[in-house]
């Protein structure tokens, strides 16, 4: 694992809501499936984590958040919360991709290294990203993250892949025939976790990938977004 900074992370970009805190080698997480209730749960989760760790916000090195792509309302909540908390104690924010967070979770839980993430974006499109996860705390994005119909994703991926995310079920009829032998497993009901935001944020923060609180903004990937 990379050097451990004191990082608090929140994740509200899907119907799940979570917060996690890393101090030293230990990561503690609060997680709940809470559609349309993120604003009710996220700050109490943060408070509980800090109280149990005997810490204050001032002792953190950074606050991280899953910046998207994802649900419009959830991303606005996350950005607003981290901006407020980080600005109050003058510490930087570390944005982490929601799709990369999910890919890292698949590595953490199942040891999967080749992951195609496709989350339902509405309008018959998915938020798509292809990742190779070489080790704990690191994901390599192959190409770019984009919003697209599943039918338009390239068929240039070699080897076996885990298909992760709701889009694979929502738009199953769009999956290209050329992918039939490449998708070894599909996990549809899988949510990003703040504990994976923390793990990825360690390396991003260490490499200087943090921003000032006012620059912590969501990533939507398209101008017309679908709220939930």
- Per-residue model confidence as pLDDT tens digits over 1-26: 456 899 999 999 999 999 999 999 99
Whether 174 and 210 share a structural domain: no
**Which two three-digit tokens encode residue 24?**
């030293």
Its pTM stands at 0.95
E-strand ranges in the chain read 7-11, 16-23, 26-33, 62-68, 93-97, 114-122, 125-135, 138-148, 161-164, 183-187
Whether 94 and 196 share a structural domain: yes
Chain segment 57-86, per-residue pLDDT in tens: 999 999 999 999 999 999 999 999 999 999
Whether 171 and 201 share a structural domain: no
pLDDT at 220 over 60: yes
Q: How many domains does the chain fold into?
A: 2
**Residue 172 is assigned to a structural domain of this protein:** yes
**Residue 221 is assigned to a structural domain of this protein:** no
pLDDT at 223 over 80: no
pLDDT at 180 over 90: no
Chain segment 155-168, per-residue pLDDT in tens: 889 999 999 999 99
Chain segment 135-157, per-residue pLDDT in tens: 999 999 999 999 999 999 988 89
**Residue 228 is assigned to a structural domain of this protein:** no
How many Cα atoms are found within 13 Å in the side-chain-facing hemisphere of 26?
A: 5
**What is the model's pLDDT at position 152?**
95
DSSP assignment letter at 137: T
What is the rounded CA–CA span in Å between residue 136 and residue 132?
A: 11
**What is the model's pLDDT at position 52?**
97
Residue 125: give its domain's CATH number. Answer: 3.30.420.40
What is the rounded CA–CA span in Å between residue 198 and residue 10?
A: 9
Whether 80 and 123 share a structural domain: no
DSSP assignment letter at 13: S
**Residue 67 is assigned to a structural domain of this protein:** yes
Q: How confident is the model at residue 40 (pLDDT cuts 50, 70, 90)?
A: very high
Whether 72 and 121 share a structural domain: no
**What is the model's pLDDT at position 57?**
97
Whether 196 and 94 share a structural domain: yes
**Residue 225 is assigned to a structural domain of this protein:** no
pLDDT at 224 over 80: no
What is the rounded CA–CA span in Å between residue 51 and residue 195?
A: 18
Whether 174 and 152 share a structural domain: yes
**Residue 75 is assigned to a structural domain of this protein:** yes
Whether 107 and 92 share a structural domain: no
Q: How confident is the model at residue 226 (pLDDT cuts 50, 70, 90)?
A: very low
> Hey, is 30 helix, strand or coil?
strand
pLDDT at 122 over 80: yes
Whether 201 and 91 share a structural domain: yes
Domain span holding position 130: 99-187
Radius of gyration of the chain (CA): 17
For residues 44-50, average pLDDT: 98
Q: H helices then E strands: how many in the chain?
A: 5, 10
Whether 11 and 92 share a structural domain: yes
Name the nearest CA neighbour of 184 among 154, 156, 164: 164
Q: How confident is the model at residue 215 (pLDDT cuts 50, 70, 90)?
A: very high
Whether 17 and 86 share a structural domain: yes
For residues 199 and 137, the answer to whether their CB atoms sit within 8 Å is yes
**Residue 220 is assigned to a structural domain of this protein:** no
Whether 121 and 198 share a structural domain: no
């Amino acid at each position: 694992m990379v050097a451990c900074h004191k990082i608090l992370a929140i994740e509200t970009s899907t119907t799940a809501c979570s917060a996690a805190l890393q101090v030293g080698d230990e990561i503690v997480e609060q997680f709940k499936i809470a559609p349309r209730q993120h604003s009710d749960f996220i700050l109490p989760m943060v408070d509980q984590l800090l109280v149990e760790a005997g810490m204050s916000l001032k002792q953190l090195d950074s606050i991280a958040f899953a910046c998207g792509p994802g649900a419009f309302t959830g991303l606005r909540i996350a950005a607003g919360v981290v901006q407020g908390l980080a600005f109050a104690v003058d510490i930087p924010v570390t944005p982490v991709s929601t799709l990369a967070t999910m890919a890292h979770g698949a590595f953490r839980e199942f040891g999967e290294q080749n992951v195609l993430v496709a989350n339902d974006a509405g309008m018959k499109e998915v938020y798509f990203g292809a990742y190779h996860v070489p080790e704990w705390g690191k994901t390599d994005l192959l190409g770019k993250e984009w919003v697209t119909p599943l039918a338009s994703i390239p068929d240039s991926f070699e080897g076996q892949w885990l298909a992760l995310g709701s889009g694979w079920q929502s738009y199953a009829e769009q999956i290209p025939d050329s992918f039939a032998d490449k998708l070894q497993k599909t996990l549809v009901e899988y949510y990003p976790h703040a504990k994976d935001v923390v793990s990825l944020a360690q390396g991003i923060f260490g490499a200087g990938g943090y921003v000032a609180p006012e620059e912590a903004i969501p990533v939507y990937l398209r101008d017309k977004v679908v709220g939930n």
